[in-house]
Amino acid sequence: MSTPPVPPSFRDPAALRELAADLARLSPGRPLTFMHVCGTHENAIARFGLRALLPPWLRVIAGPGCPVCVCPPGEIDRAVRLALVARATVATFGDMLPVPGRASLAQARAQGADVRVVLGVAEAVELARAEPDREVVMFAVGFETTACTVAAALLAGPPPNFSVLSAHRLIPPALDALLRIEGLAIDGFLLPGHVLTVTGTADYEAFVARSGRPAAAAGFEPLDILLGLRDLARAACAGEARLANAYRRAVRGDGNPRAREAMARAFTPADAAWRGLGTIPASGLAVAGPLREFDAAARFRLAPAAGAGPAGTAGSADDDAPGCQCGRVMVGLLDPVDCPLFATGCTPDDPRGPCMVSQEGTCRSRYLYREAGG
């Protein structure tokens, strides 16, 4: 499903001020904390200084919405092993190269491994076709929006020297895990509109019903985000748990049926570890049995990724470099500016962890736009 062009009014300062004033007129009677789970939302919030427009009773925190950031060290170790030991060509997104496990893909490439940066799975498939004597592995990282493209590639009949190492993750199980974190109080969730464009709303309606928290699907322009926050605040003020759609120009109830069908055929849910969140049941996507010939983990007999603690053991420092607080940042337990390394020992030019590496990382967005009040 293509998204229509965004009209200029979605960034109109007067419209933003009017919507912010409308939001401020609400009276929840207590402080509210809403969490988004999308790196693009954080980037827009920081870039346009939206936190400065919010009423004093409303706090918006960043959750685990960066797919590069949530990828745990054990998954990276498997990709590095493919590159260094199996001597496969590992294709992945550029943000993944510097993210460390025991080592990083950037370090593996410096040691002579064939690690290629691609913009998407189609490029990796073409690479495999162009070099039939090489094993080409797509190290596939991302949420449902990326997983559906990888699913389509698997179902289209890729060349026999192509395979996928899946590190895909699903958003709904992570929302449940966040609510089990001790000391983390979340009053509502701002949902990633592009994910719901694929999945539709059913899983999130079920989450709202069982969690008792409101949620709102939102787009990525400033007005989209404020509309979603207003929907959440209205629901909280009314004491109602409901799902709102503030991104109607793209999100439908049934999502993209063809994309959902492709994912259901190509993948099967699997327990998966998340950096900062531990292992969450049925939160990952493994290559389905009928497509096992394209499963890199099976083809190369890889051991399972090194595990993490159970869900709810959030913010474990075991996943991070010494001093890095990325695990706590990703689950909303620490604001980036409160990390002792932020902007001093950790910058985009010299990052300590994935939250400062990735284009969708919370720390990177807050650093780049720290003077905007975001």
pLDDT of residue 139: 99
Residue 165 and residue 85 share a domain: yes
The CA–CA distances, whole Å, from 186 to 28, 35, 227 equal: 14, 7, 19
- Quickly state the pLDDT bin for 317 (edges 50, 70, 90): very low
Residue 137 and residue 74 share a domain: yes
- Quickly state the pLDDT bin for 307 (edges 50, 70, 90): low
pLDDT of residue 318: 54
pLDDT digit string, tens, across residues 46-95: 999 999 999 999 999 999 999 999 999 999 999 999 999 999 999 999 99
- Quickly state the pLDDT bin for 265 (edges 50, 70, 90): very high
| Parallel/antiparallel/unpaired status of strands 278-287 and 267-274 | antiparallel
Is there a domain that residue 165 lies in? yes
The CA–CA distances, whole Å, from 104 to 98, 110, 147 equal: 6, 10, 23
The residues pairing with 92 across neighbouring beta strands, listed in sequence order, are 117
Distance between CA atoms of residues 51 and 302, nearest Å:
44
Percent of the chain with pLDDT over 90: 89
pLDDT of residue 167: 98
Structure-token pair, residue 152: 């389509």
- Say how many domains are in the chain: 3
pLDDT of residue 1: 43
Residue 101 is part of a domain; what is its CATH number?
A: 3.40.50.11740
- pTM across the whole model: 0.92
Residue 56 and residue 46 share a domain: yes
Percent of the chain with pLDDT over 70: 93
- Quickly state the pLDDT bin for 373 (edges 50, 70, 90): low
Q: How far is CA 143 from the centre of its chain?
A: 6
pLDDT digit string, tens, across residues 195-215: 999 999 999 999 999 999 999
pLDDT digit string, tens, across residues 146-182: 999 999 999 999 999 999 999 999 999 999 999 999 9
Residue 145 and residue 198 share a domain: no
Residue 176 and residue 38 share a domain: yes
Is there a domain that residue 2 lies in? no
pLDDT of residue 50: 96
Is there a domain that residue 35 lies in? yes
Structure-token pair, residue 35: 């969490």
Is there a domain that residue 293 lies in? yes
Is there a domain that residue 311 lies in? no
Q: By residue range, what is the domain housing residue 338?
A: 317-368
